[in-house]
Structure 1
Amino acid sequence: MTPPDLRGVMRTFATGVCVASAYRDTPGGRRHDAMTVNSLGSISLDPPLICLSFRRGSGFLGDLLAAGCWAVSILPAGERETARRLAMPLPARATHVAGLHARPGAATGALVLAGASWLECGLRQRFDLGDHTLVIGQVLTAGHHARSPALVFLHGGYHTVDDPQAATVHLSGPGHWGEYC
């Protein structure tokens, strides 16, 4: 039996594009890092929990685990270049992190990108699964831009979702987010 083409199948699943940020305190001061991710998932509304997945052994994951907190900025459509630059390996993206239009988050100190919806999280749990580590974060604080067009990743490229005809779904009622499964 040949292994499944998981990468090929997942390329057909549109995902939002985010930047996760963490830091490490060093003798020379705080060193921030940020990287593009598309593994953001909402786990629970009460308590508010999210998850992200990182390649096991990555330097970014090490920084996140050492700090015990992180921020996620959900990129709007105009941030394709930011997403591209922060998808590079650590040495290449370090220059771009220094030039980000961002501020330290009030709850965590991790970078929150200007113009993005954002979440600041404290580490709740971690699970080593296959070649990745899944981190579960308790949302400490958040902010959003309700109607900014979204940046999504599909078929190996960045796309914009801005459909003025999109139906509005009210998520406060029953039957949403897997309530009947």
Structure 2
Amino acid sequence: MNHGHPADFRALMAGFPTGVTIVTTTGTGGDPWGMTLTSLCSVSMEPPVLLVCMRRGSPTLDAALARRSFAVNLLHRRARSTAELFASGAPDRFDRVAWHAPAGTGGPHLLEAAHTVADCAVTTDQVVGDHVVIMGRVTRVTRLAEEQHPLLYGLRRFATWPDTDDQLSYDFIS
């Protein structure tokens, strides 16, 4: 069986556009951590559960597992620079964005970059290859902006939802 090369797998996933998120949490000392990712999936409506995948060795992953909570910040179309900043690993990233972490949240909420934030409690984590799959029960959803156009990523570039009047609406979960 041919398992393909890493380049083949990257090309496969580049052809699957998806939304862009920044997962945030706080360390045991209260320091904020966060990273950009596109691996977000809804798992269940009852109870509400999200699945995220984070790279092994990531300080954000380590903090989320230690704290057993995280926040998923869904980015809007004007947040490309924030997505790039949090993908860069810059140590001062939280000094360069507006955020707050009220009591009871899973992690910092990115006030100017996210349109919606889901706070989650870690229920399950599993190492899979070079990543860790984490399932989080959604404890709270906070709407931060009226912006309806999510930031998207695919074909190795950022994009936004097109403006159109003839949108079809589907309400489903796989």
Secondary structure at the residue paired with 1:74? strand
Equivalent of residue 11 in structure 1, options 7, 14, 27: 14
Distance 1:112 1:76 in 2: 13
Mapping for residues 1-181 of structure 1, pairs under 5 Å = 1=2, 3-4=4-5, 5-26=8-29, 30-89=30-89, 92=90, 94-108=91-105, 110-115=107-112, 116-144=115-143, 145=145, 148-171=148-171, 176-178=172-174
Distance 2:9 2:106 in 1: 36
Summarize deviations over 1:86-123 as a string: whole Å, max 9, x none. Answer: 1013xx2x212123211114422510111421100000
Confirm or deny: 8 A CA contact 1:128 1:134 kept in the other structure.
yes
Secondary structure at the residue paired with 2:73? strand
Secondary structure at the residue paired with 1:57? coil
Structure 1 residues 160-169 or 111-120, which shifts more? 160-169
Between the two proteins, the alignment pairs up a number of residues equal to 168
Return 5+ residue gaps in structure 2 as ranges: none
Secondary structure at the residue paired with 2:97? coil
Amino acid at match of 2:49: L
Amino acid at match of 2:92: T
Secondary structure at the residue paired with 2:16? coil
Confirm or deny: 8 A CA contact 1:107 1:141 kept in the other structure.
no
Distance 2:3 2:117 in 1: 40
* Cα pair distance change 1:135/1:2, threshold 3 Å: closer
Confirm or deny: 8 A CA contact 2:24 2:72 kept in the other structure.
yes
Q: CA RMSD in A?
A: 1.7
Distance 1:60 1:159 in 2: 25
TM-score, normalised on structure 1?
A: 0.85
* Cα pair distance change 1:96/1:57, threshold 3 Å: closer
Distance 2:102 2:72 in 1: 10
Distance 1:22 1:105 in 2: 12
Identity %: 26
TM-score, normalised on structure 2?
A: 0.88
Confirm or deny: 8 A CA contact 1:118 1:143 kept in the other structure.
yes
Distance 1:107 1:18 in 2: 20
